[in-house]
Amino acid sequence: MCAGQILGVRMALLGLKRLGIEDPRGADRKRLVTYIEIDRCATDAIGMVTGCRLGKRALKFRDWGKMAATFVDLASGRAVRIVALEDSRKLAAEIYPHIESKGQQQMRAYHELADGQLFREQWVRVSVDPAELPGYKGERFVCPRCGEGVNFGRFAEVEGERLCLSCARPELRYWQADL
């Protein structure tokens, strides 16, 4: 267990509460889409609490490096963005100076502090493209250069040819072929 997991659980519970979603893993499971902005342990906690997963297309990752998440109620169209406050770390050290470990200070404080001491909330509008919705069945094609199948319109036109993104822009690949 770490402080980030506690923040993620608290953030998710607050988002669900604000949206009035009581059973995100059961009866309400198709109502919620969650956008996360960091690839840290809080993300795993948010997914566990909300039931949103990448594989279900209900968890959307935006790599902005922020301890923030936006919870979208597809049924009502309402969305709330919740951001962890930077000064919560300092507050944890002030409240628990007798605890030597910063991680332990933060874990204890993040468990006990009020939501308003940990988070900033903002009602926002999120336009979820129909192709981004859970359950969307999109066109699939096979890239003529690499022969790999591609889902959901993830291609680029290059000189009149539809190519997968890694063939269209090889300089942006995260991998290189082993020669």
Please state the three-class secondary structure of 44-68 as a single string.
Answer: HHHHHHHCCCHHHCCEEECCCCCCE
What are the extents of the domains in the chain? 3-132, 140-172
Which of 3.40.1800.10, 3.50.50.60, 3.30.1330.130, 2.60.120.260 would CATH assign to domain 3-132? 3.30.1330.130
Query: H or E stretch including 161?
Result: strand 161-164
Name which of 129, 131, 126 is nearest 19 in CA terms.
126
For the chain, how big is the Rg over CA atoms in Å?
A: 20
Distance CA 141, CA 86 (A): 45
Query: What is the predicted pLDDT for the residue at 79?
Result: 97
pLDDT value at residue 179 = 73
Instruction: State how far the Cα of 35 lies from the Cα of 40, in Å rounded to an integer.
Output: 14
- Torsion over CA: 7, 10, 12, 15 (sign): negative
pTM of the entire structure? Answer: 0.84
pLDDT values of the chain reduced to their tens digit, one per residue, 179 residues: 888 999 999 999 999 999 999 999 989 888 999 999 999 989 999 999 999 998 888 999 999 999 999 999 999 999 999 999 999 888 998 999 999 898 899 989 999 999 999 999 999 999 988 778 877 777 888 999 999 998 877 889 999 999 999 999 989 888 887 87
Residue 120 CA, chain-centre distance (Å), reads 17
**pLDDT of res. 131:** 76
Residue 3 pLDDT: 87
Q: Which two tokens stand for residue 36?
A: 């996360």
- Tokens standing for residue 40: 């840290």
**Residue 68 vs residues 12, 29, 58, 60, 114: alpha-carbon distances, Å:** 10, 21, 16, 12, 17
